[in-house]
Amino acid sequence: MLDTETILPAIQPHLPDADAPPRFEPIPTGHFNDSWFVTADGQQFVLRVAPSDKTPMLFYERGMMKQEPALHALLRNRTEVPVPRVIAFDDSRQVIDRDWLLLERLPGRPLSAARGVDPAPILEHVGRCLADVHAIQATQYGYLGEHRPMPARSCWADAFEVMWSKLIDDIEATGQYNATEAETVRGLVGRYRSTFDRPVRASLLHMDVWAQNILVDEAGRLCGLLDWDRALWGDVEIEFAVLDYCGISTPDFWRGYGTGEDPRRGDEAAAARRVFYLLYELQKYIVIEHARRRNGTGAAAYRDQALAIMEQRLL
């Protein structure tokens, strides 16, 4: 983690004047960025500093913080989703050699740390929020943010094929998939092209909704939906797959979302897409464990799980 004395000159112009120096408190739940709660003149902020450029990353993670200011502004303007106001963003590298983002601190604590709180009304509220988010649409598909990790595509099938291929490239680069495995896995989307080739709205998708990114207060009310840096535009079903994986897509969630039940239920084509979307979420951990956490055993476990799912469901 960076020394706060190194960071302070970068953020000082954006903090309120105070007699005492600002106080920094590390945020223990941060896994990707270095993050602190910052208190200055009685006001509270969140500072997130992106990893060094030398840090191993997935293709869509490089520079992804760049898209957050515009997304936060869009969400605050178009929805009632509780997202923090962006105080400052800097990718100039003039003071420190990393991108950083300063936000207002929202009240509450992560749902993952909220003991004794009934999750049902919270997940119902999350469902309402995501319905509003998904109603925001673009005219192109993929990762469209300012970090530009891929070319925009004019249809979802093309966008997902690019995303899938780039993810497999990242895995192959770790050595966890050999060249033959990578070629086979990379080609699966083409084999199932007809499953994806259908009219799909380019909806705004969060792609990282889990208990740690959901803030709740002591009364059990939703007061924050955080970390929009992995957002993309495309098929809402890929968002649903992440919610499945993270235990969010409960009956309460679907009630809030407005469908009453999982809209994929009974749809064979949706069932096939669900496998691909689950694998898109699952396979990222091969790279994270191998390259970022230096955990070859963990990476191999995710690889074996992914290949087993493909063997059973797709091959």
Query: Based on the domain organization, do 28 and 149 belong to the same domain?
Result: no
Query: Based on the domain organization, do 15 and 49 belong to the same domain?
Result: yes
Q: Please, which pLDDT band fits residue 31 given cuts at 50, 70 and 90?
A: confident
Q: What is the pLDDT of residue 51?
A: 96
Q: Which residues lie below 8 Å from residue 207, measured CB to CB, with a gap of 6+?
A: 230, 231, 232, 238, 239, 242
> 100 vs 49, 50, 51, 266, 280, CA distance in Å?
4, 6, 9, 45, 27
Q: What is the pLDDT of residue 49?
A: 97
Average pLDDT on 51-63 reads 96
Higher per-residue pLDDT: 281 or 19: 281
Query: Based on the domain organization, do 129 and 97 belong to the same domain?
Result: no
Range of the domain at 41: 4-106
Query: Based on the domain organization, do 101 and 134 belong to the same domain?
Result: no
Query: Based on the domain organization, do 259 and 281 belong to the same domain?
Result: yes
Query: Based on the domain organization, do 30 and 116 belong to the same domain?
Result: no
Reading the block at residue 244, the tokens are: 């499945």
Query: Based on the domain organization, do 74 and 208 belong to the same domain?
Result: no
How many other C-beta atoms can be found within 10 angstroms of the C-beta atom of residue 138?
A: 15
Q: What is the pLDDT of residue 130?
A: 98
Q: Name residue, tokens 């495309």.
A: 234
End-to-end CA, the chain: 43
Q: What is the pLDDT of residue 184?
A: 97
What CATH number did the domain enclosing 232 receive?
3.90.1200.10
pLDDT exceeds cutoff 90 at 2: no
Model confidence pLDDT, tens digit, residues 137-151: 999 999 999 999 999
Q: What is the pLDDT of residue 29?
A: 81
Query: Based on the domain organization, do 219 and 279 belong to the same domain?
Result: yes
Rounded (5°) CA angle 6-12-17: 140
Q: Which residues lie below 8 Å from residue 184, measured CB to CB, with a gap of 6+?
A: 315
Domain boundary among 46, 81, 106: 106
Query: Based on the domain organization, do 50 and 185 belong to the same domain?
Result: no
Query: Based on the domain organization, do 26 and 51 belong to the same domain?
Result: yes
What CATH number did the domain enclosing 44 receive?
3.30.200.20
Model confidence pLDDT, tens digit, residues 199-252: 999 999 999 999 999 999 989 999 999 999 999 999 999 999 999 999 999 999
Query: Based on the domain organization, do 101 and 114 belong to the same domain?
Result: no
The total number of residues written for the chain in this structure = 315
How many whole angstroms separate alpha carbon 243 and alpha carbon 255?
A: 14
Q: How many domains does the chain have?
A: 2
**202: nearest Cα among 157, 234, 246:** 234
Query: Based on the domain organization, do 295 and 206 belong to the same domain?
Result: yes
Q: What is the pLDDT of residue 278?
A: 98
Domain boundary among 90, 106, 122: 106
